[in-house]
Structure 1
Amino acid sequence: MSPPLDLGRNLAQLLPIAALLPLTAILMVLQRNPYQTLVLRGILGAIATLLYALLGAADVALTEALVGTLLSTTLYAIALRSSMVFRLALPEGEPLGSEHRALLEPWLQQAFLRLEVIDDPRGGACHGQLGGDGELLIRSGRLLEQLLSLDGARAWRLAGGTIAPLSQVAPAGAGAQP
């Protein structure tokens, strides 16, 4: 086994590897695609593991590889898979038409979201509702802005649909306060 590298004598060899850490971190923070961020997180952990191993800290390198990289990347992938979903409520008894699905799925993919159709239009778990005549109502103002900035919004409108915010309905019995 070779001895660990010394910062004083081997700085020229360690510096390029160490410079990859902030570069990868900056790329990871600036990335819009969450799946590419996941890959960059794995690369960041691998670079850190290599650097620790070269400096002779095998225990720290092993911990970084197993916990810092493997576990956190796995948990992040699970969180991405479960949270990057757009839940769309439909009017009671109406299925999602193939023409609407053909417009919605590519549009939502531009925002890195999957389409999930739910049955209960009054449920609080939906992100949007599809009304009659292609009226798409979005609950979150921030999500509405993001979706309106994508090409899919133009295609939805060209197909005769409208896009609007979903107004928050007050609970029954709640009147205006003086």
Structure 2
Amino acid sequence: MEHRMSRIEVRIAGFGGQGIIRSGNIIGTAAAIHDGKYATFTQSYGPESRGGACAAQVIISDEPIHYPHLLDPRILVVMSQGAYNKYVPGLNRDGLLLVDEDLVELGEEAAGLRVLSIPATRLAEEELGRRIVANVVMLGFFAAMTDVVSVDALRQAVLESVPKGTEELNQRAFELGYEYGRRMADSNGG
């Protein structure tokens, strides 16, 4: 019998200027266009274009999605303390929390959650010289630590979604996050 994915709800959150909305769009594109699944993408943000809170919500399913808003998020990716404070309480208690460890301090609300940390912004800055690709480092980490979307689909969607002339930088950023996640999984026996 073929395995069918149930509805998976993902929220990516941070502040304006981090590429949060683009990250959600990339995950949705990877799922719908490259993995042949159903996907919805919605976004929310404060009135500020840079520095204000923002979030992207993605739903992925093997079945048509009749309600495009999150009901029971299972994966939360946070790249700011404000996003952590706002969205962790709404994460399913069996959920997965991915955090940029230099930007997010975990509190008691994370107790009992599966938490995986990566210094995405620091890696982007130190390894690539461009902190602006921290979101793509995080996407690589997301690809390594979840099976929501295939790695190849995410790689392809990243290359199609980034500004012309930045493909190589973004590909390197994705691989940096992916390899960090693979090493973490290997060291944890996963």
TM range (shorter): 0.3 to 0.5
TM-score (norm 1): 0.32
Of Structure 1 and Structure 2, which has the larger fraction of its residues in strand? 2
Structure showing greater Rg: 1
TM-score (norm 2): 0.31
